[in-house]
Structure 1
Amino acid sequence: MTIMSKESSSILLESGTNELEIIEFHLEKVLPDGRTKTCYYGINVAKVREVIRVPDTTDYPNAQPHMIGVFSSREILTPLVDLAGWLGVPVSQDINKKYVIVTDFNRMTNGFLIDSISRIHRISWNDVESPSQFLESGEQDCVVAVVRKEDKLIMILDFEKIIADINPELSMEKYDVKVDRSVDLNRKMVAKRNGKTIMVVDDSAFIRSLIQDTLSSSGYNIIACKDGGEAFEKLNDIAAHAKSEGVAVTEFVNAVVTDVEMPRMDGMHLVKRLREGEAFKETPIVMFSSLMSDDNRAKAIALGANDTITKPEIGKMVTLMDKFVF
């Protein structure tokens, strides 16, 4: 039984509006004294295929920890993940009262076991806060953003990191630019890249680190930003400094790689704002996102992005940067 699906929800995908829709869902944490406490979480509607009752599952041999089993979702073999178990949240084990969020991004379908589904919120990315305002987040943190709604804090989870942790074989961590024969790593080319700087913008410390390691291993210098707001501020500062020095902005930054979903300012809005000004009209911008459907790619290009990459395809990153920077 489908409780909610993409077809029945008004998914917000307008270009550069800096808005999104999130599905609020809950895990009911069981406290030591037996009482329960509701934990509030969220996921971008654009990542959700449907929300269903818990389906019958089949055990999978030698499965990863927190993988309950597999089931068929629209003819696709789909792993069912114990989200509470992965998060370390003790919950009731009565599976008959639970639901499953079926996600569809990074060209993968996955199911996540939850206790209850609440509602869809339409919000501005400007109202989505970085978790670093609450705690010092690192690469192991699984919260990419926090939304304040009706006196509660909704944690937006880093589902890419969760999937990579549960199934390392599908993780971008497997990619090593140093053994990629399609990437030119001769001394002359690495030296050329040493003279160029790329800004990397992603709210996931895990993904940001992977991109940074890939590009820096090939020779590029990196400026890292945790969201579109920080990137826009830094780029404005660079433009002002370049103007005061009487030099081009390319003396300080040569390209931008940006995610789409980010607190404060999303990637689409960042591209729109950069192309509206004079300083970065010609700066190469590549969007790197788990939500890069054909429709979103068309919107990104229309806003002024030079190209797009779907997140599993990190192996394309260096050659694409070479294409636009040189």
Structure 2
Amino acid sequence: MSNMMSSVNQRTNLVGNNRLELLLFRLHGKQLFGINVFKVREVLQCPELTEMPGASPHVRGIAHLRGVPVMVIDLNQATGGKRIEDLSTAFILVTEYNRHTQGFLVNGVDRIVNMKWDQILPPPKGAGSGHYLTAVTEIDKALVQIIDVEKVFAEISPVNEEVSEKVKTHTVDRDLANITVLVVDDSAVARNQVKRALTSVGIKVELVNDGKLALNWLQAKAAELEGNIEALVPIVISDIEMPEMDGYTLTAEIKADPDLQSIHVVLHSSLSGIFNQAMVKKVGADQFIAKFHPDELVSAVQKWLSE
């Protein structure tokens, strides 16, 4: 187990090529779940937790990790399951995303697997809106469920989604009635956050949930317009982690296509770290913004609309 934990720390800085590494874990029984290793700072056996009065019932307490307090969320309970009772055998996945550090309490940790994003598929159709899956995959003939941790965290600790009046009153030298911003994200929570922010300043959006769908949509639109797609679709806002095609690959495909390369691409991700800035340059993205700050996102869109 110690080797596996060490491996998590080493691999959080890996740069993908439409690939990811999944940390597999269990919440109950034999069912395997997965989380992108890039989100995981460390894995440790559950330490003693300090109660957090007034917190969500899904928050089990505060872990003091090297002097830093980290909120610990019972991931099984937060996704509709039973409370994890035996903390002595449980583990915490310490994650960093959406500009926060938090711990997710899980029953057991399995291993790390290396995969291609095209092996990661959207949840089955008909699953409804109440589920907590962002994707699924198959490993050793067993279904692995990838949990939408953004949805979990948004329900426990909602972010401010309001765009300030200062940003709302900023004007751009472009007719907003004739443009559409393409928003690409596998998380319904994240898609709707971006949609609400942009529509609050009069910007129309098109929503898709993975990079492959986004590329197909852009190519079809470019063919329909016979070029000059940038006049009508000037900006793509894309997540990085997505089924079938990640945001890095989507960006590289856009910038390599003569019909699409004038489109500005903003990578908008819960992943954080210096490596993202390097990947922005490598794939040709115009900007990286960590989720989720509505003023920062809208200001970036306004900036690129004025270019």
1:167 is displaced (CA, Å) by 1.7
| Aligned pairs (5 A) from 1:1-326 | 4-5=5-6, 8-11=9-12, 13-14=14-15, 17-28=17-28, 37-90=29-82, 93-131=85-123, 133-138=124-129, 140-168=130-158, 171=159, 174-177=160-163, 180-185=164-169, 192-243=175-226, 247-326=227-306
Q: Are the aligned partners of 1:18 and 1:266 in contact in 2 as well (CA < 8 Å)?
A: yes
Whole-angstrom distance in 1 between the partners of 2:284 and 2:212: 18
1:135 is displaced (CA, Å) by 3.1
Instruction: Summarize the Cα distance change of 1:229–1:257 in structure 2 as closer, same or farther, 3 Å threshold.
Output: same
Instruction: Summarize the Cα distance change of 1:77–1:92 in structure 2 as closer, same or farther, 3 Å threshold.
Output: closer
Q: Are the aligned partners of 2:24 and 2:113 in contact in 1 as well (CA < 8 Å)?
A: yes
Instruction: Summarize the Cα distance change of 1:191–1:218 in structure 2 as closer, same or farther, 3 Å threshold.
Output: farther
Counterpart of 2:32, as a letter, is Y
Whole-angstrom distance in 2 between the partners of 1:96 and 1:292: 31
Q: Are the aligned partners of 1:6 and 1:50 in contact in 2 as well (CA < 8 Å)?
A: no
Whole-angstrom distance in 1 between the partners of 2:241 and 2:107: 25
How many residue pairs were aligned? 305
1:274 is displaced (CA, Å) by 0.9
1:292 is displaced (CA, Å) by 3.3
Instruction: Summarize the Cα distance change of 1:278–1:128 in structure 2 as closer, same or farther, 3 Å threshold.
Output: same
Matched position secondary structure for 1:203: coil
Q: Are the aligned partners of 2:8 and 2:43 in contact in 1 as well (CA < 8 Å)?
A: no
1:219 is displaced (CA, Å) by 0.8
Whole-angstrom distance in 2 between the partners of 1:321 and 1:309: 11
Whole-angstrom distance in 1 between the partners of 2:6 and 2:268: 25
Deviations along 1:186-206, whole A, 9 cap, x unmatched? Answer: 7x7598322221000000001
Deviations along 1:73-103, whole A, 9 cap, x unmatched? Answer: 2322101111111122236622212111111
Q: Share of identical aligned residues, percent?
A: 30
Instruction: Summarize the Cα distance change of 1:136–1:251 in structure 2 as closer, same or farther, 3 Å threshold.
Output: farther
Whole-angstrom distance in 1 between the partners of 2:302 and 2:83: 49
Q: Are the aligned partners of 1:6 and 1:49 in contact in 2 as well (CA < 8 Å)?
A: no
1:10 is displaced (CA, Å) by 3.2
Q: Normalised by the size of structure 2, how large is the TM-score?
A: 0.92
Matched position secondary structure for 2:279: helix
Whole-angstrom distance in 1 between the partners of 2:84 and 2:288: 42
Backbone CA RMSD of aligned residues? 2.1
Matched position secondary structure for 2:30: strand
Q: Are the aligned partners of 1:76 and 1:109 in contact in 2 as well (CA < 8 Å)?
A: no
